[in-house]
Amino acid sequence: MEAITWVLVHRGKHVQLVMGPAGSGKSTYCRTMMAHCENIKRKVHLVNLDPAAEYFEYEPSIDIRDLITLEDVMEELDFGPNGGLIYCMEFLLNNIDWLEEELGDYDDDYLIFDCPGQIELYTHFPIMRDICGTLQKWNFAVCGVYILDSQFVEDTSKYFAGVMTATAAMINLEIPHINVLSKMDLLLKKAKQEDLAQYFDPDPLLLTEDVNRKTRPKFHSLNRAVAHLIDDYSMVSFIPLDVTDEDSIDYVMSSADNAIQYGEDVEPKEPQEFDVEATE
């Protein structure tokens, strides 16, 4: 007796573009999501866009260091780390056909891009926006994932700065976007969940009272102006990520999937036949 099994496959090109300040937990996020994808049997590949990267737990399938490295640029052109990094990313744009060729074999796979930590690339320069636009021209559905260290909530001034940079990245890149508070497993040891909820969907006008208590009066008008700016745009909310909690990981992944409509293009693959009697 024979039976037929249908296999569902996801068609299309899907990318998570992982960004955020240096030390925010981007590499940990990428490692966590790679492991999660493997656990749920999703075909996934890591793409390294950081020319200064030194170590990966998961070997990148595509690595910008095969094209250019920050170390070589600093040595040969006598650039500092910031200028060298910008040069590397501009070099990538000028040689974008290299990336197109590297991506050619991943039509139906899920890609996670580990990006540089220099925040100016997302807020001041058009480099990352141009890369996003190019990926979209190549029919990739791109989701921005902005990582902010949850420890910032312990200092409201830093938290405001994080919200501002996240807002600037969202405006500059113009792609579907989620914001993630990383390292929640560390923060939950110090604070209660109910105390942290106000930072997930921030009301900056309420938080202004806290920051004013910690700053000199001459800065209060500036604090209020920043709070009103954040409130006027009202774009940023955060998803907490606890890498020790599988439900938390799954929720973040589902949020990114929803942003790029991953799963809405599921198609049945050619059925496989097998002998039921042979398995009894």
**Sheet of strand 110-114, all strands in order from the earlier edge strand to the far edge:** 62-63, 44-48, 110-114, 13-19, 140-149, 177-182, 238-240
Report how far residue 208's alpha carbon sits from residue 211's, in angstroms, rounded to the nearest whole number. 5
pLDDT in tens, 2-15: 444 444 444 578 99
Q: Which pLDDT value is given to residue 106?
A: 85
Nearest to 76 by CA among 66, 68, 65: 68
Specify the amino acid at residue 147.
Answer: I
Asked if pLDDT for residue 273 goes beyond 70, the answer is: no
Q: For residue 272, what pLDDT band results from cuts at 50, 70 and 90? A: very low
Q: Which pLDDT value is given to residue 191?
A: 63
Asked if pLDDT for residue 89 goes beyond 70, the answer is: yes
User: pTM of the full predicted structure?
Assistant: 0.85
Nearest to 248 by CA among 204, 196, 212: 196
Report how far residue 132's alpha carbon sits from residue 130's, in angstroms, rounded to the nearest whole number. 5
pLDDT higher at 265 or 229: 229
Q: Which pLDDT value is given to residue 230?
A: 83
pLDDT in tens, 160-176: 889 999 999 999 999 99
Q: For residue 206, what pLDDT band results from cuts at 50, 70 and 90? A: confident
Mean pLDDT, residues 227-251 taken together: 90
Q: Which pLDDT value is given to residue 22?
A: 87
Q: Provide the strand spans (E) within the chain.
A: 2-10, 13-19, 44-48, 62-63, 110-114, 140-149, 177-182, 238-240, 266-275
Class for domain 10-262, per CATH?
alpha beta
Q: Which residues pair with 114 in a beta bridge?
A: 18, 48
Please give the share of the chain, as a percent, with pLDDT higher than 70.
Answer: 87
